[in-house]
Amino acid sequence: MLARFVPGIPAPQGSKKHVGNGRMIESSKKVKPWRRAVALAFADCPKLFFDSQPLSVTAIYYLPRPKTVKRTWPATPPDIDKLDRGLLDALTLAEVWGDDAQVVEMFSVKQYADFNETGALLNIDTVKHVPLYWGV
Protein backbone atom coordinates (compact mmCIF):
# COMPACT_ATOMS: atom_id res chain seq x y z
CA MET A 1 0.00 0.00 0.00
CA LEU A 2 1.09 3.54 -0.69
CA ALA A 3 -0.34 6.42 1.37
CA ARG A 4 0.50 10.10 0.87
CA PHE A 5 -0.86 13.54 1.54
CA VAL A 6 -0.55 15.95 -1.39
CA PRO A 7 -0.64 19.57 -0.18
CA GLY A 8 -2.12 22.16 -2.52
CA ILE A 9 -5.45 23.02 -4.09
CA PRO A 10 -7.00 19.96 -5.76
CA ALA A 11 -7.77 20.89 -9.36
CA PRO A 12 -10.40 19.33 -11.60
CA GLN A 13 -9.41 18.22 -15.04
CA GLY A 14 -12.15 19.39 -17.31
CA SER A 15 -12.29 20.06 -20.97
CA LYS A 16 -9.45 21.26 -23.16
CA LYS A 17 -9.38 24.30 -25.43
CA HIS A 18 -8.24 24.16 -29.05
CA VAL A 19 -5.61 26.86 -29.64
CA GLY A 20 -4.86 26.20 -33.30
CA ASN A 21 -2.52 23.98 -35.29
CA GLY A 22 -3.96 20.90 -33.60
CA ARG A 23 -2.81 22.02 -30.15
CA MET A 24 -5.01 21.58 -27.10
CA ILE A 25 -4.47 23.13 -23.66
CA GLU A 26 -6.19 22.66 -20.31
CA SER A 27 -9.03 25.10 -19.80
CA SER A 28 -8.16 25.46 -16.09
CA LYS A 29 -4.94 27.16 -15.01
CA LYS A 30 -5.12 25.24 -11.70
CA VAL A 31 -4.33 21.85 -13.27
CA LYS A 32 -0.59 22.43 -13.81
CA PRO A 33 0.21 23.43 -10.21
CA TRP A 34 -1.85 20.49 -8.92
CA ARG A 35 0.03 18.05 -11.18
CA ARG A 36 3.34 19.50 -9.92
CA ALA A 37 2.20 19.03 -6.31
CA VAL A 38 1.24 15.39 -7.00
CA ALA A 39 4.56 14.74 -8.76
CA LEU A 40 6.47 16.26 -5.83
CA ALA A 41 4.55 14.21 -3.25
CA PHE A 42 5.32 11.00 -5.16
CA ALA A 43 8.87 11.86 -6.30
CA ASP A 44 10.45 9.21 -4.06
CA CYS A 45 7.72 6.66 -4.75
CA PRO A 46 8.91 3.11 -5.43
CA LYS A 47 7.69 1.65 -8.72
CA LEU A 48 5.22 -0.75 -7.11
CA PHE A 49 2.38 -0.67 -9.60
CA PHE A 50 3.89 -1.20 -13.05
CA ASP A 51 2.79 -4.78 -13.70
CA SER A 52 -0.80 -4.13 -14.86
CA GLN A 53 -2.27 -5.24 -11.54
CA PRO A 54 -5.74 -3.96 -10.62
CA LEU A 55 -5.58 -1.03 -8.20
CA SER A 56 -7.82 0.59 -5.62
CA VAL A 57 -7.60 4.32 -4.90
CA THR A 58 -9.09 6.21 -1.98
CA ALA A 59 -8.96 10.01 -2.15
CA ILE A 60 -10.14 12.59 0.37
CA TYR A 61 -10.01 16.07 -1.15
CA TYR A 62 -9.67 18.96 1.30
CA LEU A 63 -10.95 22.08 -0.44
CA PRO A 64 -10.73 25.70 0.72
CA ARG A 65 -13.95 26.98 2.24
CA PRO A 66 -15.12 30.29 0.75
CA LYS A 67 -15.50 32.92 3.48
CA THR A 68 -19.25 33.33 2.97
CA VAL A 69 -20.11 29.60 2.87
CA LYS A 70 -21.76 28.12 5.97
CA ARG A 71 -22.89 24.72 4.63
CA THR A 72 -21.16 21.55 5.85
CA TRP A 73 -20.29 19.90 2.52
CA PRO A 74 -18.93 21.38 -0.71
CA ALA A 75 -21.92 20.31 -2.82
CA THR A 76 -20.82 22.73 -5.55
CA PRO A 77 -18.11 22.66 -8.24
CA PRO A 78 -15.57 21.28 -8.70
CA ASP A 79 -17.27 18.01 -9.59
CA ILE A 80 -15.78 15.02 -7.80
CA ASP A 81 -15.43 13.01 -11.03
CA LYS A 82 -13.32 15.80 -12.55
CA LEU A 83 -11.18 15.97 -9.39
CA ASP A 84 -10.68 12.20 -9.74
CA ARG A 85 -9.77 12.52 -13.41
CA GLY A 86 -7.23 15.25 -12.66
CA LEU A 87 -5.74 13.19 -9.83
CA LEU A 88 -5.50 9.94 -11.80
CA ASP A 89 -3.87 11.66 -14.77
CA ALA A 90 -1.42 13.43 -12.42
CA LEU A 91 -0.51 10.09 -10.81
CA THR A 92 0.11 8.62 -14.27
CA LEU A 93 2.38 11.55 -15.17
CA ALA A 94 4.16 11.12 -11.81
CA GLU A 95 4.79 7.48 -12.82
CA VAL A 96 3.08 6.00 -9.78
CA TRP A 97 1.67 3.33 -12.12
CA GLY A 98 1.87 2.40 -15.76
CA ASP A 99 -1.64 3.54 -16.70
CA ASP A 100 -4.65 4.84 -14.78
CA ALA A 101 -6.69 2.13 -16.54
CA GLN A 102 -5.31 -0.14 -13.79
CA VAL A 103 -7.63 1.58 -11.30
CA VAL A 104 -10.67 -0.66 -10.98
CA GLU A 105 -11.98 0.71 -7.70
CA MET A 106 -12.15 4.30 -6.48
CA PHE A 107 -13.59 5.87 -3.35
CA SER A 108 -13.62 9.68 -3.22
CA VAL A 109 -14.80 12.30 -0.76
CA LYS A 110 -14.61 16.07 -1.00
CA GLN A 111 -14.87 18.22 2.10
CA TYR A 112 -13.84 21.61 3.32
CA ALA A 113 -10.37 21.91 4.83
CA ASP A 114 -11.64 23.54 8.02
CA PHE A 115 -9.26 21.61 10.28
CA ASN A 116 -6.73 20.37 7.73
CA GLU A 117 -4.39 21.76 5.13
CA THR A 118 -5.88 21.92 1.61
CA GLY A 119 -4.85 19.03 -0.60
CA ALA A 120 -5.67 15.34 -0.92
CA LEU A 121 -5.08 12.32 1.28
CA LEU A 122 -4.47 9.30 -0.95
CA ASN A 123 -4.26 5.55 -0.44
CA ILE A 124 -3.29 3.34 -3.37
CA ASP A 125 -3.26 -0.43 -3.08
CA THR A 126 -3.68 -3.57 -5.11
CA VAL A 127 -7.17 -5.08 -5.13
CA LYS A 128 -7.21 -8.06 -2.80
CA HIS A 129 -10.87 -9.02 -2.76
CA VAL A 130 -13.46 -10.63 -4.98
CA PRO A 131 -15.28 -8.11 -7.21
CA LEU A 132 -18.65 -6.94 -5.94
CA TYR A 133 -21.69 -7.80 -8.04
CA TRP A 134 -24.78 -5.66 -7.66
CA GLY A 135 -28.05 -7.32 -8.51
CA VAL A 136 -28.33 -10.57 -10.45
* CA atoms within a 13 Å half-sphere pointing along the CA-CB vector of 93: 16
pTM over 0.75: yes
- In angstroms, the CA 77 to CA 69 distance is 13
Give the bridge partners for 16, in sequence order.
Answer: 26
Q: What is the pLDDT along the chain (136 residues), one digit of tens a residue?
A: 899 999 999 999 876 666 677 775 665 778 899 999 999 999 988 877 888 899 999 999 999 999 999 999 999 999 999 999 999 999 999 999 999 999 999 999 999 999 889 999 999 999 987 766 666 5
pLDDT, residue 22, reads 73
Q: Which domains does the chain have, with CATH numbers?
A: 2-126 (3.30.1330.70)
State the angle between helix axes of 31-41 and 80-93 in degrees (0 to 180), rounded to the nearest 10. 50
Spatial contact of 64 and 9, defined as CB atoms under 8 Å apart: yes
Contacts of 122 (CB under 8 A, 6+ apart): 2, 3, 4, 5, 6, 57, 58, 59, 87
**Confidence at residue 15, expressed as pLDDT on a 0 to 100 scale:** 62
